[in-house]
DNA sequence: TTGTATGCGTTATCAA
DNA sequence: TTGATAACGCATACAA
């Protein structure tokens, strides 16, 4: 690249000093309109770009946001991170921030001097990192609520699951089971709790037997539903499943047992992953807009970094997408 | 965070000067073993972490790698970026580098002072950015070969497609068509060229009519195959498709025409996207290891940044994954 | 083998 | 409203 101009270069040409240039370019008060105009013009002509490192050094800030990702993210298979990253990066860029990836393994190296704040994903129940970040006083926003005091971007899990259960009830289902992922994750227990509330709201029974836990994977879903149906009599005619990924496995498992989706059993997933409409049958699922979540998270984090008043938490809407994995209740087959 | 120690702090405690500390910590020659040992010990005790901004300022380097992503990446639906990012970040972190995301829209802001080098994805035919980066003298490694002189990490497209065609031939197919994505992308023309070569190697005819171009999307695949089969007589019994995503659409389109995959027509995809084994039928496809590609790219870029001898390009193997979208040739239906 | 001096480019403080 | 000066933390050239 040709030459990298500095405030000095601009100062010289504008017949002022570097300090004035700095003030002018940063819209500080105390610079006359004319000189400011002149300085800005010269800066543009020269294609001046400030040296972030120098600014960072004096201001003790890096102007970069970190996206914190657990080492073995369970959501890696789908496009969760692509989307969240796009949302974050879009608003961060506009605000002059860079977005960096921080993996669990390397938190310590990056904690100091590399990022001004973090956006946290896939938090676990008692997450040691939350404590670490608080101790280090590094600002963060969590994707998914941790507790009521910590800043977070959450989705309306409750509302989404309420829609799903309501829809199942409208199809005649009264016995609804739940297939859960690992309960160490916040989002998993949130989804389960919401499920319980939704059942209650509809006056439906909650049978402990109708719940099954497994890893968040296709194999997990399969295994969970097979185990459940083998041990239970008077089984559910419908299942709410923790994630779309597990839902695919649940459909496998049902098929193993000679049960057809949606003819014999209805299933509803969560997330609306890209493959949700690709699989057979296309999944009825609760869609969340991860891209939008990313934008909110970045906005909130940047606001707090810049000392602006920021909402401590937002809850974004979700909506039920009706596809082919659900139909009217049909007890005949299950009861044999 | 408690206190951030500097080289000064260490120097004071070690009874030496900051310069010596710097040299010791960076393994430069000219520091006695004892003092070096002492300095290192103190640094560890204090939990010293160097201030990257200060270092960057003096060395004119940022110690961050940029992953350059087009604004509307066609591969966004699948986990391409998640995987590549993971590969890049793993090796970058170990080498002390941070990885940042650079979107097309914001290249200019980030070009200077924010990244030391770039890893390029989804390059187009005459990519203006390549010229820009060369003009700015910013080192880069491209995912997918641009030309013979520019550093790149590529996959053995030729080998993979050869395997695929060979497999189809072994199943009795002699009339093989090709469904292509937008020819502005390098990878698309690479795949098509390899296809032509593979046909030639097996003495198979290449009919211009058996090729169809469409956007890299599910709808694109569907549309491409339907158009092709409507205008052509004596149609192919098998298709090679540019991406798994389009392959899903091709299967849709075939079904529209009353054709079953794999009974009537065989199809082979490319990439082995996460959903490749989730769809019906599970796709036979050419698998590439994007994660590994990311690791190589990061390694190469860091080597060049640090002045080490680096390979200008590597070609990683791919392999044919046989699933259910292919079977023995069956002309009966098509010919009616 | 170690110390001294200097500069990287910016912002901030204070004086003019 | 502007200028002079210092400081951020580190690395390096050169002197001791």
Q: Which residue of A has its CA nearest to B53?
A: A53
User: What's the pLDDT score for residue B1?
Assistant: 46
Helix (H) / strand (E) containing B302: helix B290-305
User: What's the pLDDT score for residue B77?
Assistant: 55
For chain B, domains (ranges, CATH) are 7-49 (1.10.260.40), 64-155+290-317 (3.40.50.2300), 157-287 (3.40.50.2300)
Question: Considering only CA atoms, which residue is closest to the C1' of nucleotide C13?
Answer: A19
Determine if strand C comes within 7 Å of the CB of A302.
Answer: no
Strands A176-180 and A319-321 turn out to be unpaired
**Which of B:195-214 have CB within 8 Å of A?**
none
Q: By the 8 A CB rule, do A192 and A184 touch?
A: no
Q: Which of B55, B100, B324 to mutate to test the interface with A (most CBs of A within 10 A)?
A: B100
Determine if strand D comes within 7 Å of the CB of A32.
Answer: yes
| Range in B125-129, B165-169, B255-259 the model is least confident about | B125-129
| Range in A106-115, B194-203, B280-289 the model is least confident about | A106-115
C1' (D6) to CA (A22) span, angstroms = 16
User: What's the pLDDT score for residue A66?
Assistant: 95
Question: Cα–Cα distances in Å, from B50 out to A109, B54, B96, B201?
Answer: 10, 8, 11, 58
Q: Which of A's residues 51-80 have CB atoms within 7 A of nucleic strand D?
A: 54, 57-58, 60
User: What's the pLDDT score for residue A87?
Assistant: 92
User: What's the pLDDT score for residue A308?
Assistant: 86
Q: By the 8 A CB rule, do A221 and A253 touch?
A: yes
Question: Cα–Cα distances in Å, from B326 out to A180, A246, B59, B167, B190?
Answer: 35, 27, 56, 9, 23
What DSSP designation does B282 have? P
Q: By the 8 A CB rule, do B57 and A53 touch?
A: yes
% of residues, chain B, pLDDT over 70? 95
C1' (C12) to CA (B51) span, angstroms = 20
- Residues A52-71 have a mean pLDDT of 91
pLDDT tens digits, B100-156:
999 887 777 677 788 999 999 888 777 788 888 888 889 999 999 888 889 999 999
In a 10 Å sphere around its CB, with 0-12 CB exposed, 13-18 middle and 19+ buried, how is residue A170 labelled?
exposed
Structure-model confidence comparison of residues B131 and A261, the more confident one: A261
Edge-to-edge order in the sheet of strand A266-271 = A211-213, A176-180, A238-241, A266-271, A284-287, A319-321
Q: Which residue of B has its CA nearest to A103?
A: B89
Report how far residue A46's alpha carbon sits from residue A52's, in angstroms, rounded to the nearest whole number: 17
User: What's the pLDDT score for residue A68?
Assistant: 92
Q: Measured between CB atoms, which of A56, A89, A111 is closest to B103?
A: A89
Q: Which residue has the tokens 């057979």?
A: A280
The pair of three-digit structure tokens given for residue B214, joined into one six-digit string: 């469409």
Q: Is A85 on the interface with B (CB under 8 A)?
A: yes
User: What's the pLDDT score for residue B191?
Assistant: 96
| Range in A107-121, B178-192, B237-251 the model is least confident about | A107-121
Residues 6+ away with beta carbon under 8 Å from A238: A168, A171, A173, A175, A176, A177, A265, A266, A267, A268, A326, A329
In chain C, which nucleotides are within 7 Å of a protein Cβ?
1-5, 7-13
B6 CA: nearest nucleotide by C1': D9
Report how far residue B49's alpha carbon sits from residue B154's, in angstroms, rounded to the nearest whole number: 37
């Amino acid at each position: 690249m040709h030459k990298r101009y500095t405030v000095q270069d601009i100062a010289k040409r504008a017949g002022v000093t570097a300090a004035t240039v700095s003030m002018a370019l940063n819209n500080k008060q105390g610079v006359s309109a004319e000189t400011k105009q002149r300085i800005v013009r010269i800066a543009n002509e020269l294609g001046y770009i400030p040296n972030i490192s120098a600014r960072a050094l004096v201001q003790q800030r890096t102007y970069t946001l970190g996206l914190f990702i657990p080492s073995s993210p369970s959501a890696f298979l789908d496009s969760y991170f692509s989307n969240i990253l796009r949302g974050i990066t879009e608003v961060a860029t506009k605000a002059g921030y860079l977005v960096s990836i921080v993996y669990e393994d390397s938190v310590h190296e990056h904690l100091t001097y590399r990022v001004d704040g973090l956006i946290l994903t896939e938090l676990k129940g008692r997450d040691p990192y939350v404590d670490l970040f608080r101790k280090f006083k590094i600002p963060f926003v969590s994707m998914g609520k941790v507790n009521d005091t910590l800043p977070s971007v959450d989705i309306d899990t409750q509302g989404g699951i309420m829609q799903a259960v309501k829809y199942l009830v409208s199809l005649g289902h009264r016995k609804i089971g739940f297939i859960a992922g690992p309960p160490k994750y916040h989002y998993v227990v949130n989804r389960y709790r919401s499920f319980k509330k939704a059942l209650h709201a509809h006056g439906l029974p909650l049978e402990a037997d109708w719940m099954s836990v497994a890893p968040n994977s296709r194999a997990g879903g399969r295994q969970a539903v097979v185990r459940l149906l083998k041990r239970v009599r008077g089984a559910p005619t419908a299942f709410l499943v923790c994630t779309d990924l597990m839902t695919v496995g649940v459909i496998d498992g049902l098929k193993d047992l000679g049960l057809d989706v949606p003819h014999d059993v209805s299933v509803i997933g969560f997330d609306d992953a890209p493959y949700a409409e690709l699989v057979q049958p296309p999944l009825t699922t609760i869609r969340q807009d991860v891209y939008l979540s990313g934008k909110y998270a970045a906005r909130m984090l940047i606001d707090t970094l810049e000392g602006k008043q920021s909402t401590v938490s937002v809850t974004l809407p979700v909506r039920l997408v009706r596809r082919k994995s659900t139909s009217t209740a049909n007890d005949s087959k299950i009861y044999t």
